[in-house]
Amino acid sequence: MKVFSAISFCFFVLIIMMAPSAKALEPLDQAQLNIENGDYEKAIALLTPLLDSNNQEELSQVVQTLYNVYSEQERKKDTQNVLQVFINKFPTAPDAYLFRYWSAKIEEENQNYTGSLAMLQEIIASFPQDMEDTYNLREQAMEDVARHYQYHLEKYQEAIDWYLKILADYPNFDGKSSIRSEIASCYEKMENFQQALNFYQQIFNDETDPFYRQLAELRVEYLKSDPRWARKNPDDLITELEKAFTDKDISTIESLAKKGDFWTGQIYSEYELGRFSPVKKYLETYLPQSNPRFSPVEKKNNMYSLRIEQWADPEYDILYLEIEKGIFGWEWSNVILSNHQLENQINSQ
């Protein structure tokens, strides 16, 4: 029995030595192992020669792997170049359109909005009608074009035209209410409030999602309000808010709050949509016990953040009042709850 076991063991060892798994890993597998170990340069060295491959599937894997490595290292130029290798070799392959889209998004990150826009429009125009759109690239590219016009180029009518084209070309599009809300927002910025109201009413009538129904309802309330809370410049509104909180004047605070949709939340989390009335109840609970101390106002993009410390809430001892420019002027439109412990944890990471 012992002799048989010894023979079996030797035979097992021989099989292991002869098995394919005993060979060195293929370059792609070895590169992936290097990436998992954080050795990106070794992975790049292994993968770069494979960019000469004329095998479409292999080259796609190599390009995607290098794309992920370069993206991790924020080497945007190298990322663009490696995507272009595949596009040049296989310009009509499905992955070529995916890589064109990724290139357009990199240009957007670089704030080259006109370049990104041109690339997205080329995807839309050249995408083959008979090709399966696995990644919904054409629809996504159309939405990105509309958002470029809306948010980056501030050409609102062009944005509306593209949003309407999405609704026409994709009648079963799941995000119909999202698109309609963007159209309404564009009409607001063009000060065509009646058209904005029409689209919000469509959302309210057709949508079953409570978020979009509430958003539409609150935007209608906002557009139909007398905007006495708005100010021509942020400094005036900040000064009035500081005084009202210092005086613990709830009535004045309420008069300074944006009507309609008023956003609330906790720091480093998503905001919640609602009216100011729950915030008023919260302030009535903790403002009388607080001794508000204001930090210097911070500007973040097109928003000003007023930080209040020594807030009496035992769970959240910091309050942020956020001010941004709306269609009627500068408006106090957000309240964010925070605390020192949470902020220290985030800052120490």
Q: Where are the alpha helices (DSSP H) in the chain?
A: 2-18, 27-36, 40-47, 56-72, 76-89, 94-109, 113-126, 137-147, 156-169, 176-189, 193-206, 210-223, 234-247, 250-256, 277-286, 340-348
For residue 321, what is the DSSP state? E
* pTM of the full structure: 0.83
Does the residue 257 lie in any domain?
yes
Closest by CA position to 121, among listed 134, 106, 137, 109: 137
Is 100 part of any domain? no
Query: CB burial class (10 A; 0-12, 13-18, 19+) of residue 5?
Result: exposed
Residue 331 placed within a domain: yes
Q: Which two tokens stand for residue 275?
A: 């009216």
Residue 301 lies in a domain: yes
In angstroms, the Cα distances linking 163 to 104, 157, 170, 175, 206 are 19, 10, 11, 11, 18
Q: Does the residue 330 lie in any domain?
A: yes
* Domains contained in the chain, number: 1
- The pLDDT of residue 125 is 96
- CATH number of the domain that 302 lies in? 3.10.450.50
Residue 309 lies in a domain: yes
- The answer as to whether 73 is a domain residue is no
Say what the pLDDT of residue 349 is: 63
Q: Which long-range contacts (CB under 8 A, 24 or more apart) does 185-193 make?
A: 185/150, 186/150, 186/156, 186/157, 186/159, 186/160, 187/156, 187/160, 188/223, 188/327, 189/154, 189/156, 189/327, 190/156, 190/157, 191/327, 193/223
Print pLDDT tens along the chain (349 aa): 444 344 444 444 443 344 444 345 688 899 999 999 999 999 999 999 999 999 999 999 999 999 999 999 999 999 999 999 999 999 999 999 999 999 999 999 999 999 999 999 999 999 999 999 989 999 999 999 999 999 999 999 999 999 999 999 998 888 899 999 999 999 999 999 999 999 999 999 998 899 999 999 999 999 999 999 999 999 999 999 999 999 999 999 999 999 999 999 998 888 899 999 999 999 999 999 999 999 999 998 889 999 999 999 999 999 999 999 999 999 999 999 999 988 887 776 6
What's the confidence (pLDDT) of residue 24? 56
Look up the domain containing 258 and give its range.
234-348
What b/e readout covers 161-197, taking b as 16+ CB neighbours within 10 angstroms? ebbeebeeebeebeebbbbbbbbbbbbbeeebeeebb
pLDDT at 2: 42
On whether residue 109 sits in a domain, the answer given is no
How much is the pLDDT for 6?
45
Q: Residue 182: its pLDDT value, please?
A: 97
